[in-house]
Chains A and B, each alone.
Chain A
Amino acid sequence: MTRAGGWALVAAGAAAPLLPVVGLAVGLAGGDPWRAPPAGLGPLVLRSVGLAVVVSALAVPLGAALAWLDRRADYPGRRVLVVLSLLPLALPSFLLAGALRHALGPGGALGLPAFVGLGAAAVVLTLATAPLAQVIVGAALARVPAAEEEAARTLGASRAAAFRAVVLPRLRPALVASALLVQLYVLSDFGAVAVLDAPVLTWRIYQAVAQQRLGDAAVLGGLLLAATLLLLVLGRLAHGRVAEAGVANPRPVERRPLGRAGFAAALVAHGLTAGLGCLLPVATLALWVVDGWSRGLPFAPLGEPVAITLRVGAVAALVTVLLAWAPGWAAGRHGRRGVDLAVLLGHALPGVLVAFGVLRLALALTGGGAYRALGEAGALLLAGYVARFLPEAHAALRTAAAAFDPRQDESARVLGAGRARRLVRVVLPAVAPGVAAAAGLVVAQVAKELPITLLLGPAAGARTLSFRVYDRLEEALLHDAGAAGLVLVGVCLAAFALSARWGGER
């Protein structure tokens, strides 16, 4: 392939996640009529940003505590509890919210008068995002060399003092990164705030699009994008000020057995994430099914939504990986930071913005007639999924490309292999696990996805599992929602587990 051709592929892949922004710009410039929401725009933005800040203030300490338990402590059942604590990451937030809304609300375990609104959303999103912090802080904790802490101890520092003096400074970048990631997650979350009817930007944008108020959606979308960019810039600034010195092969610190009080605290932390964030929601779904069964209610068959989910996921994964290949290679092998930056910007785009951007761009480009055909053919849905999940596929592919040893390619070359033979015999076998991991990740994320599925799926007849769950929750057909939800949990877990196994991750 020529150099220009290669760069065209890189540019196409890197630009795909940013297409929805073009759509949003078209919407803002298009002069679609709009009217301000009753309470004004300011409070709406404040509630969105406030929710993000509150959740990060709760989820990061909780996740960091779990990371410490995972890496440094020793207590009965640690391995199982740690894995259970990570599972909320694999659950769609709307499923978590739907189950907890009923489990904790009227008639539920706690018997609260209601489990809806901003407060409920903060609880659910904290449970959903604490594992993010757990993973990031845990990885950083594992990189802290034991020798430093031991040196501090031999110099007379207590455990706590050594932790404060030596470990904490090393964790700062991870803590900042987790906070940023959690805030971006909350700002872009649609599922939990929709199910819990929390008045924030994503939910209002969805309502505006669903009610064909495209002008309102564009203005709200512009605000959401601005808030997202602001967070990114702030995160960048905060991260710029902390340095992390790496150590090649740090010897791990010995685990510390927990005392009685420590064990009790560990159980509380696990109880929140593993119990409230995983076991209770799954048990609730199962109860709904059993309840429906005992009452003899008819269950809607699940074969079709499962087949549609897998088919849509597979097609999206194929197209996404093909598009992400060139940028992943350029970034991983040749260190093109610009490519990373473009793709990562796309990563921060909320799904509901992606759906609206794709829809608005298609409308502007086709002028209505072809737009319907595109929607029915599933092209818009596919474009939405690809734009939304290309950054995640990029990250997986870039890791695989970076891990590929260029000397293998050079060896094959001096042994006489041409470009095509090297690609097939040497490069692809080496990066195949990374490609599979990227594809598995996209399938899992498509199965979890809600706003793009709700806004762009029905036109194509793509009523996936998550569509079914949300639809039945709305209709209060809980036995159907429970059955579809359990299957969805299974699909997500399987796809994530396969992806992690292929990618060689934990």
Chain B
Amino acid sequence: MTLPLVVEGLGHAYAPGAPVLEGVDLTLAQGELVALVGASGSGKTTLLRCLAGLTTPARGRVVVGGAVVAEGGRERVPAERRGVGLVFQEYALFPAMTVRDNVAFGCPDPARVDALLAATGLADLAARRPAQLSGGQQQRVALARALAAQPHVLLLDEPFANVDAPRRLDLGQEVRALLAGQGASALLVTHDAQDAMTLADRVAVLEGPPGRIVQCDAPEVVYARPVDAAIAARLGPCAFVPAEARGESASTPFGEVALVAARTGPVTLLVRPEQARFEAGAGDARVVARAFVGRGARVRVRAGEREVLAEAPLGARAGDAGRVVVVGPCWALPG
């Protein structure tokens, strides 16, 4: 079975000596949703443009649906014949056309257009123009328009950037269901790790400049076993604790902790807040800050030279003394 998208050693620079992307490798399986996470300036949008054919990458190879579309700085297949769908952050709907005409733009089959309008709940709005729609409706038009053309792979550029936080989760699940229903393979670009982890089959972390993919794996793997501290911090709040590893466990300022993988010698442990618990009472740890997070409190605790984020009972207050219990196993950062 041909893969919908293969990227090998892709590199690009807009100006000589200032590479934006360098040695990017990425493969999508059929029907897979991969989230590309990276800070602004890491080259996410450039990568999408290179894949869509709007920018020709200076180096490397892009294969879409089995066909080489760009290779060694040359465009082999132009954007309009690639079969790559692109949903812009601002949707870029055609303002002079109706919803139906927008969706039908890349799809000659009226039955498929109708089916997508129905699947996206737009059937009743088909005669309207984009300006008459809400932001969420516009986004569904943009998705339907891209899907109607039956692309090998769909690229989504920050699809939830313009959506309020409470709506994001619902909307994300809607998009995910729609993509799954269409059997579409998609690459979703986002700067929000939470979005990436809740939606994607795999998360690819892009760091730069020059941007390159430093880790690409299932969300729980990237979250719990990041290859470096930057990725760990990007995916969620955490603390780094120096420790002395002795095989299956390590000794830390917070006591003995089990390790995910056996190591020996000095290591840096990744401690997520949900792995640490603050217990008031005797001890040399002290709460320096507290935030309410729903079922309990999250506290920043200082113990000696070290600070960790930990969960605590609602009654915990800044200034409280006590001790931190780290619940392993913990991940020792490689290197």
A contact set with B: CB distance below 8 Å: 405, 407-408, 410-418, 425-426, 429-430
Which of B78, B96, B105 contacts A415, CB < 8 Å? B105
Q: Taking the complex as formed, is B58 at the interface, i.e. its CB lies under 8 A from any CB of chain A?
A: no
CB distance A414 to B105 under 8 Å?
Answer: no
Please measure, in the bound complex, the distance between the C-alpha atom of A407 and the C-alpha atom of B88, giving whole angstroms: 8
For B97, list chain A residues within 8 Å (CB).
425, 429
CB distance A414 to B86 under 8 Å?
Answer: yes
| Shortest 9 CB-CB contacts between residues of A and residues of B | A415-B106, A407-B92, A429-B96, A413-B79, A411-B92, A414-B86, A416-B80, A407-B88, A413-B80
Which of B80, B84, B86, B90 contacts A417, CB < 8 Å? B80
CB distance B145 to A407 under 8 Å?
Answer: no
Q: A413-B78, A426-B94 are in contact. List 11 more A-B contacts (CB 8 A).
A: A405-B90, A407-B92, A408-B94, A410-B54, A410-B86, A414-B53, A414-B84, A415-B106, A415-B146, A429-B94, A430-B96
A–B Cβ pairs within 8 angstroms, 16 of them:
A405-B92, A407-B88, A410-B88, A411-B94, A413-B53, A413-B80, A414-B52, A414-B53, A414-B80, A414-B82, A415-B85, A416-B106, A418-B80, A425-B97, A429-B96, A430-B96
Interface of A is mostly: helix
* Interface core residue of A405, A415, A429 (most chain B CB under 10 Å): A415
The 8 A CB mask of B85-120 against A (1 = contact, 0 = none) is 110101011111100000001100000000000000
Please measure, in the bound complex, the distance between the C-alpha atom of A416 and the C-alpha atom of B54, giving whole angstroms: 12
Q: Taking the complex as formed, is B197 at the interface, i.e. its CB lies under 8 A from any CB of chain A?
A: no
Please measure, in the bound complex, the distance between the C-alpha atom of A429 and the C-alpha atom of B96, giving whole angstroms: 7
Please measure, in the bound complex, the distance between the C-alpha atom of A411 and the C-alpha atom of B146, giving whole angstroms: 9
Interface of B is mostly: loop
A424 → chain B, closest Cβ, in Å?
12
CB distance B85 to A414 under 8 Å?
Answer: yes
For A429, list chain B residues within 8 Å (CB).
94, 96-97
Cβ < 8 Å to A, chain B residues 52-92 = 52-54, 78-82, 84-86, 88, 90, 92
B90 and chain A: residue at smallest CB distance: A407
Q: If the complex has contacts A408-B94, A425-B105, are A416 and B81 also in contact, measured as CB distance less than 8 A?
A: yes
A429 and chain B: residue at smallest CB distance: B96
B82 and chain A: residue at smallest CB distance: A414
Please measure, in the bound complex, the distance between the C-alpha atom of A295 and the C-alpha atom of B113, giving whole angstroms: 72
Please measure, in the bound complex, the distance between the C-alpha atom of A410 and the C-alpha atom of B54, giving whole angstroms: 7
CB distance B81 to A415 under 8 Å?
Answer: no
A408 and chain B: residue at smallest CB distance: B92
B112 → chain A, closest Cβ, in Å?
13
Count, chain B residues at interface, CB 8 A: 25
For B151, list chain A residues within 8 Å (CB).
414
A409 → chain B, closest Cβ, in Å?
9
Q: Taking the complex as formed, is B149 at the interface, i.e. its CB lies under 8 A from any CB of chain A?
A: yes
CB distance B90 to A414 under 8 Å?
Answer: no
B155 → chain A, closest Cβ, in Å?
8
Please measure, in the bound complex, the distance between the C-alpha atom of A414 and the C-alpha atom of B149, giving whole angstroms: 9
Please measure, in the bound complex, the distance between the C-alpha atom of A415 and the C-alpha atom of B102, giving whole angstroms: 10
For B149, list chain A residues within 8 Å (CB).
415-416
CB distance A415 to B92 under 8 Å?
Answer: no
* Interface core residue of A410, A414, A417, A425 (most chain B CB under 10 Å): A414
CB distance A414 to B92 under 8 Å?
Answer: no
Which of B54, B93, B95, B96 contacts A414, CB < 8 Å? B54
B15 → chain A, closest Cβ, in Å?
16
Please measure, in the bound complex, the distance between the C-alpha atom of A405 and the C-alpha atom of B90, giving whole angstroms: 10
A414 → chain B, closest Cβ, in Å?
5
For A418, list chain B residues within 8 Å (CB).
80
B84 and chain A: residue at smallest CB distance: A414
B96 and chain A: residue at smallest CB distance: A429
Please measure, in the bound complex, the distance between the C-alpha atom of A408 and the C-alpha atom of B95, giving whole angstroms: 9
Please measure, in the bound complex, the distance between the C-alpha atom of A415 and the C-alpha atom of B82, giving whole angstroms: 9
Please measure, in the bound complex, the distance between the C-alpha atom of A415 and the C-alpha atom of B95, giving whole angstroms: 16
CB distance B94 to A414 under 8 Å?
Answer: no
Please measure, in the bound complex, the distance between the C-alpha atom of A414 and the C-alpha atom of B69, giving whole angstroms: 13
For A407, list chain B residues within 8 Å (CB).
88, 90, 92
For B82, list chain A residues within 8 Å (CB).
414
* Interface core residue of A413, A417, A429 (most chain B CB under 10 Å): A413
Please measure, in the bound complex, the distance between the C-alpha atom of A413 and the C-alpha atom of B106, giving whole angstroms: 9
For A425, list chain B residues within 8 Å (CB).
94, 97, 105
A415 and chain B: residue at smallest CB distance: B106
Cβ < 8 Å to A, chain B residues 244-290 = none
For B96, list chain A residues within 8 Å (CB).
429-430
For A408, list chain B residues within 8 Å (CB).
92-94
B88 → chain A, closest Cβ, in Å?
5
B87 → chain A, closest Cβ, in Å?
9
CB distance B95 to A411 under 8 Å?
Answer: no
Please measure, in the bound complex, the distance between the C-alpha atom of A430 and the C-alpha atom of B131, giving whole angstroms: 14
Q: If the complex has contacts A407-B92, A429-B96, A430-B95, are A412 and B105 also in contact, measured as CB distance less than 8 A?
A: yes
For B88, list chain A residues within 8 Å (CB).
407, 410-411
For A413, list chain B residues within 8 Å (CB).
53-54, 78-80
Please measure, in the bound complex, the distance between the C-alpha atom of A407 and the C-alpha atom of B54, giving whole angstroms: 10
For B85, list chain A residues within 8 Å (CB).
414-415
CB distance A415 to B145 under 8 Å?
Answer: yes
Please measure, in the bound complex, the distance between the C-alpha atom of A411 and the C-alpha atom of B106, giving whole angstroms: 10
B157 and chain A: residue at smallest CB distance: A407
A433 → chain B, closest Cβ, in Å?
10
Please measure, in the bound complex, the distance between the C-alpha atom of A425 and the C-alpha atom of B97, giving whole angstroms: 9
B149 and chain A: residue at smallest CB distance: A415
Please measure, in the bound complex, the distance between the C-alpha atom of A411 and the C-alpha atom of B88, giving whole angstroms: 8
B149 → chain A, closest Cβ, in Å?
5
A420 → chain B, closest Cβ, in Å?
11
B108 and chain A: residue at smallest CB distance: A416
Please measure, in the bound complex, the distance between the C-alpha atom of A426 and the C-alpha atom of B97, giving whole angstroms: 9
For B81, list chain A residues within 8 Å (CB).
416
Please measure, in the bound complex, the distance between the C-alpha atom of A415 and the C-alpha atom of B84, giving whole angstroms: 8
Please measure, in the bound complex, the distance between the C-alpha atom of A407 and the C-alpha atom of B80, giving whole angstroms: 14
CB distance A412 to B52 under 8 Å?
Answer: no
* Interface core residue of B53, B81, B92, B146 (most chain A CB under 10 Å): B92
For B84, list chain A residues within 8 Å (CB).
414
For A430, list chain B residues within 8 Å (CB).
94-96
Please measure, in the bound complex, the distance between the C-alpha atom of A356 and the C-alpha atom of B128, giving whole angstroms: 54
B151 and chain A: residue at smallest CB distance: A414
CB distance B86 to A411 under 8 Å?
Answer: yes
For A426, list chain B residues within 8 Å (CB).
94
